């Protein structure tokens, strides 16, 4: 899940304790949110200048109507923070790791909500936790 840290950062999520992931206006990203289940884990990515995975969030409520719009096509999920990494994992590091060469983030970095394979998730978590 990608966010602009100036709009809603990891620290904002920690401060709030829980939030709905709103404002998604891309059908592919929306469909990715619709596929999320309670207790799924998500990588929390700061875009723009940082371009780094910061930590792990957990889905605590499956998709429902986005309360910021009356347009029924758009949905949100609720998330909570789980763990901040010991160090951010940069997009550059991800792109330079051959094990992650087919990751959606490497090939379509503009998509705000992306699927991540378990192996990719584990590699990035290992990089962030081990410093």
Per-residue pLDDT tens listing for the chain (131 residues):
999 999 999 999 999 999 999 999 999 999 999 999 999 999 999 998 899 999 999 999 999 999 999 999 999 999 999 999 999 999 999 999 999 999 999 988 788 999 999 999 999 999 999 86
Q: To which residue do tokens 């998730």 refer?
A: 121
pLDDT of residue 110: 82
pLDDT of residue 108: 84
Q: What is the pLDDT of residue 109?
A: 76
Given a contact cutoff of 8 angstroms between Cβ atoms, the answer to whether 90 and 124 are in contact is no
Strand order in the sheet with 41-46: 2-3, 41-46, 52-65, 75-90, 19-20
Q: Has this prediction a pTM greater than 0.85?
A: yes
According to CATH, what is the number of the domain 2-130? 3.10.590.10
């Amino acid at each position: 899940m990608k966010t602009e840290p100036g709009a809603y950062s990891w620290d904002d999520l920690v401060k709030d304790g829980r939030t709905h992931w709103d404002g998604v206006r891309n059908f592919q990203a929306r469909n990715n949110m619709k596929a999320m289940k309670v207790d799924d884990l998500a990588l929390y990515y700061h875009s723009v200048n940082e371009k780094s995975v910061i930590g792990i969030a957990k889905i605590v409520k499956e998709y429902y109507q986005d309360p910021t719009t009356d347009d029924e096509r758009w949905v949100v999920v609720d998330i909570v923070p789980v763990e901040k990494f010991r160090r951010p994992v940069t997009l550059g590091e991800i792109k330079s790791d051959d094990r992650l060469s087919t990751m959606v983030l490497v090939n379509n970095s503009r998509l705000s909500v992306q699927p991540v394979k378990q192996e990719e998730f584990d590699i990035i978590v290992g990089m962030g936790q081990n410093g």
